[in-house]
Amino acid sequence: MSDQPLVEMRGLEKEFAGSKALRGVDIAFHRGEVHGLLGENGAGKSTLIKILTGVYAPTAGQILLDGSPVRIHSPLDARRHGLGAVYQDAELVASFTIGQNILLGNEPGHVVLSDRAIHDEAARILNEIGVALDPRRSAAGLSAAQMQLVTLATLFHRRYKLIVLDEPTARLSGVESEVLFRLIARLRGEGITIVYISHRLREVQEICDRATILRGGLVSATLERGEITEERVTQLMVDRSRTDLETYNDGHARPEVLLEIDGLQTDLLAPLSLTVRAGEVIGITGPVGGGMEQVAHALGGVTRHGGHLRLRGRAVDVADPVAARRAGIALIPEDRRKQALFPALSVADNICLPVLRSLRRLAMIGSREKLAFADGVMERLAVRPRNAAAQVRFFSGGNQQKVVIGKWMGTKASVYVFVEPTSGVDIGAIKEIYDIILHLARDGAAIIVVSSSLREILALSDRVLVIHDGALVSEAPKAAWTYDALLAVTMQGRHRRTA
């Protein structure tokens, strides 16, 4: 490690509509180090990375590359400087082979190489970094893990100096994670800097040379390898000025059991049993990709699963999303734009769709009726602007989320399953969404909130479950948890050891 950092960020600030995501961050990344980046939800990790990779412009501050100030105005600028990131859904050209992806990437036409030359060269690169994949294989059928490896090979080939990995093991098995860690070690050996964002403390301890902890938009500390202990990290992560956790839920659970989950399991979830009473809010947390999402996807009929469900004592089968909906289970997924809304349809159409159950019937019903019905829902949910005829895509994240919830309110579901209900939602709308969720509980619905935000889980839940590596590791009433205890349990587990 030389004294001159590869990248230095000084006094970095980023303001979003009046709120500061970064409040003067100083951080240095050295050549050939694996640098962990830790921090609770909303600490500013993604914002920092997006500035470094040219997605956002900073409000103030300076970025130095090899000691000289540089301007990074776009992802293209970042790429020219050899700075890049591998995101969870790594983007490869599906119609290309692995070799074409590595050599040509997404800029075909610049290089004129024979098919043979491309694949020979790709084989050499893959071999050099120890990735056992056939370069002639199509990128179309690759697993998430393989896509990451190919993307890393591509950045290696393009001589990137710094590569950011944001929660790279979230969707990987234990074996796949080990393969990734070996590749990271290889790249580090080539002098490449790796910035590694993760909530899994053991991974950070295993592969990082140093780790910086962000807290409330500021650097809390940078720790050397031996100093990265659970105790230190927890202490540095928790924002003491925000420990007065707000509780929104003062308890609406009724005696009657509404939902019984018996041995629910998927490929990535060990059998889970749980009973939820009417009006009860169950919070499920854990590392992203560690299995908590599986519970939601199984209940919503999105994922193949085993086990038995009973609603009000009656067996229900949720083989697919339609069956789940009919049974009275509403899944409000995280990626609402892709999974839950038709952005080009009006709010009224989106809200009326589940009630009418088909687009054909939607086209048949009078628009005045639809608008009136949707307007009533929008009023109750405080959707702004209150214009039921406007296309959903013109609304903010928070208001889109309310529209998704509105879709289900019309159907009078018995069980509401929320996944990351306030991710990408502006602060003003967060409290309103909490109010809506608790309103549903007060009306007697059973609620399950799956979230990586511990504050959110503690604010909303009657009972909290932590799922790690596909298994329930802890369950207790909300009152039994402190923020620190929950954070410690959430970070402790290791990625899955079995394939």
Choose from ligand ADP, Mg ion, none: what does 42 bind? Cβ within 5-8 Å by kind: ligand ADP
For ligand ADP, give the closer residue by CB, 46 or 294: 46
Report yes or no: 467 and 292 within 8 Å, Cβ to Cβ.
yes
Q: Which pair of tokens denotes residue 149? A: 């490896």
Q: How far is the CB of 104 from ligand ADP (least distance, A)?
A: 32
| N residues, the chain | 499
Binding-site residue total for ligand ADP (CB under 6 A)?
11
One of 8, 29, 35, 44 touching ligand ADP (CB under 6 A): 44
Q: Choose the binding region for ligand ADP from 43-51, 218-226, 268-276, 301-309 (rule: CB under 6 A).
A: 43-51
For ligand ADP, give the closer residue by CB, 51 or 207: 51
**Distance (Å, rounded) from C-alpha 463 to C-alpha 392?**
34
**Distance (Å, rounded) from C-alpha 134 to C-alpha 119?**
9
One of 9, 29, 35, 42 touching ligand ADP (CB under 6 A): 42
One of 39, 84, 289, 300 touching ligand ADP (CB under 6 A): 39
Q: How far is the CB of 16 from ligand ADP (least distance, A)?
A: 3
Residue 233 makes contact with ligand ADP by CB under 6 A: no
Q: How far is the CB of 300 from ligand ADP (least distance, A)?
A: 25
| Phi, psi for residue 274 in degrees, rounded to 5 | -165, 140
Report yes or no: 450 and 419 within 8 Å, Cβ to Cβ.
yes
Report yes or no: 449 and 467 within 8 Å, Cβ to Cβ.
no
Q: Which amino acid is at 202?
A: R
Residue 36 makes contact with ligand ADP by CB under 6 A: no
Choose from Mg ion, ligand ADP, none: what does 216 bind? Cβ within 5-8 Å by kind: none
Q: How far is the CB of 117 from Mg ion (least distance, A)?
A: 40
Q: Which amino acid is at 300?
A: G
For 378-404, b/e burial (b = at least 16 CB within 10 A) is beebebeeebbeeebeebeebbbbbbb
Binding-site residue total for Mg ion (CB under 5 A)?
2
Three-class secondary structure of residue 310 per DSSP: strand
Choose among 448, 485, 175: nearest CA to 292: 448
One of 5, 34, 35, 47 touching ligand ADP (CB under 6 A): 47
Choose from Mg ion, ligand ADP, none: what does 41 bind? Cβ within 5-8 Å by kind: ligand ADP
**Distance (Å, rounded) from C-alpha 386 to C-alpha 383?**
6
Q: Choose the binding region for ligand ADP from 41-49, 279-287, 321-329, 367-375 (rule: CB under 6 A).
A: 41-49
Q: Choose the binding region for ligand ADP from 44-52, 148-156, 332-340, 441-449 (rule: CB under 6 A).
A: 44-52
At how many degrees (to 10) do helices 397-409 and 427-442 cross? 10
Q: How far is the CB of 341 from Mg ion (least distance, A)?
A: 22
For ligand ADP, give the closer residue by CB, 105 or 217: 217
Residue 105 makes contact with ligand ADP by CB under 6 A: no
Q: Which pair of tokens denotes residue 227? A: 């100093």
User: Where would I find the beta strands (DSSP E) of 318-414?
Assistant: 329-332
Choose from Mg ion, ligand ADP, none: what does 43 bind? Cβ within 5-8 Å by kind: ligand ADP
Residue 421 makes contact with ligand ADP by CB under 6 A: no
For ligand ADP, give the closer residue by CB, 19 or 127: 19
Q: Which pair of tokens denotes residue 302? A: 């999105």
Q: How far is the CB of 144 from ligand ADP (least distance, A)?
A: 20
Q: Which amino acid is at 85?
A: A
Q: Which pair of tokens denotes residue 198? A: 């993760």
Alpha helices in 286-346 (DSSP H): 292-299, 321-327, 336-339
**Distance (Å, rounded) from C-alpha 359 to C-alpha 272?**
36
Q: What separation, in Å, do the N-terminal and C-terminal C-alpha atoms of the chain show? A: 35
Residue 394 makes contact with ligand ADP by CB under 6 A: no
Report yes or no: 378 and 406 within 8 Å, Cβ to Cβ.
yes
For Mg ion, give the closer residue by CB, 45 or 370: 45
Q: How far is the CB of 50 from ligand ADP (least distance, A)?
A: 7
One of 43, 90, 139, 152 touching ligand ADP (CB under 6 A): 43
Choose among 193, 229, 285: nearest CA to 38: 229
Choose from Mg ion, ligand ADP, none: what does 132 bind? Cβ within 5-8 Å by kind: none
- Helix (H), strand (E) at residue 220: strand 218-224
Residue 406 makes contact with ligand ADP by CB under 6 A: no
DSSP state of 401: H
Q: How far is the CB of 478 from Mg ion (least distance, A)?
A: 25
Q: Which pair of tokens denotes residue 271? A: 């059998």
One of 23, 31, 41, 257 touching ligand ADP (CB under 6 A): 41
Report yes or no: 280 and 446 within 8 Å, Cβ to Cβ.
yes
Q: How far is the CB of 161 from ligand ADP (least distance, A)?
A: 23
Would you give the binding string for Mg ion spanning residues 9-48, x where CB under 5 A is met? ------------------------------------xx--
Where do we find the tokens 């809506």?
Answer: 436
For Mg ion, give the closer residue by CB, 45 or 336: 45
Binding site for Mg ion (CB under 5 A): 45-46
Binding site for ligand ADP (CB under 6 A): 16-17, 21, 39, 41-47
